[in-house]
Amino acid sequence: MPSNASGRSDKNDAPPLPEPLRVPVADSHTHLDMQAGTVAEGLAKAASVGVTTVVQVGCDLAGSRWATETAAAHDAVHATVALHPNEAPRIVHGDPGREPGGDAALDEALAEIDRLAALPQVKGVGETGLDHFRTGPEGKEAQERSFRAHIEIAKRHGKTLVIHDRDAHADVLRVLKEEGAPERTVFHCYSGDAEMAGICASAGYYMSFAGNVTFKNAQNLRDALAVAPRELILVETDAPFLTPAPYRGRPNAPYLIPVTVRAMAAVRGVDEDTLATALAVNTARAFGY
Ligand SMILES: [Zn+2]
Ligand SMILES: [Zn+2]
């Protein structure tokens, strides 16, 4: 129904419900705490189109605690906990309205992530990694130290590592190699090309594709998706961000996963059910649930 007087639907409106998937899948990476409506509403809407499981990702201490509480309260939700790669430098160096805490504050925050990572509803440690797009040179050291600490926490607790890699492919791969990657490692919002997909495949890293795989200018992502081994592919929303075409720019939520799954099936040249079956199995294996 038109939502404004001019009769046009508003470009800020939530996109319509897609056709349900016949084979249920998981949204491997979402931020329910940044989306409109209640968690119960968001989960019900997602389940109504076959998105029956979500991985709720923490980005700071408050968000990580929230993820653990939400996963404890809802069977359909699994949690991951971390300090986002852009959060670690803010803890050390401060931010507008926030005092710099130095290395000690980062250590304290990491100790809390470590405690949360032990909880049974926490399936992963992340999102962590490197972001050379948002964090400048002054934050690089804190960011890499935090990344290394998260890798160690994931390994010690036997949890999945969830990687955020923005404009930092070579450095992320280098740190993983130096530290030794955990048994299960996921590149969330996979942003590498086909060549990097080959490197991830040989290391056994999962590649989770988000709505930007549908964007016109993202042929490199589709090329990567086309060559990635079927058993290492996941799908995610990273909602409220990265809403798939043709709804780009409007609010994203887990119920829009079918739009991305269909675009991915077209890239892979397989039918939707075949891909959805693989995605469901892969996500469960990747997060050990
Ligand atoms: Zn991210
Ligand atoms: Zn995210």
Condensed to tens digits (0 to 9), the pLDDT of residues 52-105 reads 999 999 999 999 999 999 999 999 999 999 999 999 999 999 999 999 999 999
Domain that holds residue 113: 28-287
Residue 21 domain flag: no
Distance from Cα 6 to the centre of ligand 2, integer Å: 35
Residue 17 has pLDDT above 90, yes or no: yes
Residue 237 domain flag: yes
Residue 222 domain flag: yes
Distance from Cα 55 to the centre of ligand 2, integer Å: 10
State how far the Cα of 281 lies from the Cα of 289, in Å rounded to an integer: 10
In this prediction, residue 7 has a pLDDT band, given cuts at 50, 70 and 90, of very low
Structure tokens at 205: 């890293």
Q: Counting ligands in written order, which one lies closest to the CA of residue 190?
A: 1
104 burial via Cβ count (<10 Å: 0-12, 13-18, 19+): exposed
- What is the structure's pLDDT at 1? 44
Residue 11 domain flag: no
- More confident site: 7 or 247: 247
Distance from Cα 72 to the centre of ligand 1, integer Å: 23
Residue 15 domain flag: no
Q: Counting ligands in written order, which one lies closest to the CA of residue 189?
A: 1
Distance from Cα 156 to the centre of ligand 2, integer Å: 23
State how far the Cα of 205 lies from the Cα of 34, in Å rounded to an integer: 27
Which helix (H) or strand (E) segment holds residue 79: the answer is strand 77-81
Neighbouring residues of the ion ligand 1, judged by CB less than 5 Å: 127, 164
Residue 19 domain flag: no
- What is the structure's pLDDT at 2? 42
* Domains contained in the chain, number: 1
- What is the structure's pLDDT at 99? 95
Distance from Cα 30 to the centre of ligand 1, integer Å: 10
Q: Counting ligands in written order, which one lies closest to the CA of residue 164?
A: 1
CA distances from 134 to 23, 30, 55, 150, 164 (A): 37, 20, 24, 19, 12
Residue 16 domain flag: no
Q: Contact, 33 vs 68, CB < 8 A?
A: no
Distance from Cα 247 to the centre of ligand 2, integer Å: 19
In this prediction, residue 9 has a pLDDT band, given cuts at 50, 70 and 90, of low
Candidates 266, 276, 268, 204; CA nearest to 235 is: 276
Residue 4 domain flag: no
Distance from Cα 253 to the centre of ligand 1, integer Å: 15
State how far the Cα of 139 lies from the Cα of 242, in Å rounded to an integer: 25
Kindly report the CATH number assigned to the domain that includes residue 193. 3.20.20.140
Which helix (H) or strand (E) segment holds residue 3: the answer is none
Please tell me whether residue 128 adopts helix, strand or coil conformation. Answer: strand
